[in-house]
């Protein structure tokens, strides 16, 4: 069983969820370890009904600076 005590997810044994390798990076495994407070153990909990909609086809994705599903060329 887990509980969320911002910004940590803890199990019944007091271990917290963290991204493997003590780094904040994409495509890493999740593990339960002793709390040390680094960024790789800190999480945001956002409920689905409060999460902003992703940009749709043809709309600008401000995070990446591209338009969604719109062809482009890169010219040097």
- Give the pLDDT confidence of 17-27 residue by residue, as tens digits: 999 988 777 88
For residue 52, what pLDDT is reported? 78
Q: 31 to each of 18, 21, 27, 35, how far by Cα in Å?
A: 5, 10, 13, 12
Q: Among all chains, which residue has been given the structure tokens 């390798």?
A: 21
d(CA 31, CA 15): 9
Question: CB-based burial of residue 10 (10 Å sphere; 0-12 exposed, 13-18 middle, 19+ buried)?
Answer: middle
Region label for 13, one of left (φ > 0), alpha (ψ between -120 and 50) or beta (otherwise): alpha
- Given a cut of 90, whether residue 34 has pLDDT beyond it is yes
- Give the pLDDT confidence of 38-74 residue by residue, as tens digits: 989 999 998 888 887 888 888 998 888 999 999 888 8
Could you state, in order of their start, the residue ranges of all structural domains in the chain? 2-51
């Amino acid at each position: 069983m887990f509980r969320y005590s911002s910004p940590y997810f803890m199990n019944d044994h007091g271990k917290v969820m963290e991204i493997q390798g003590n780094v904040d990076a994409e495509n890493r495994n999740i593990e339960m370890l002793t709390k040390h407070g680094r960024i790789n153990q800190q999480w945001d909990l956002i409920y689905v009904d409060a999460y902003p909609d992703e940009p749709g086809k043809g709309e600008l994705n401000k995070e990446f600076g591209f338009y969604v599903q719109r062809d482009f060329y890169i010219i040097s």
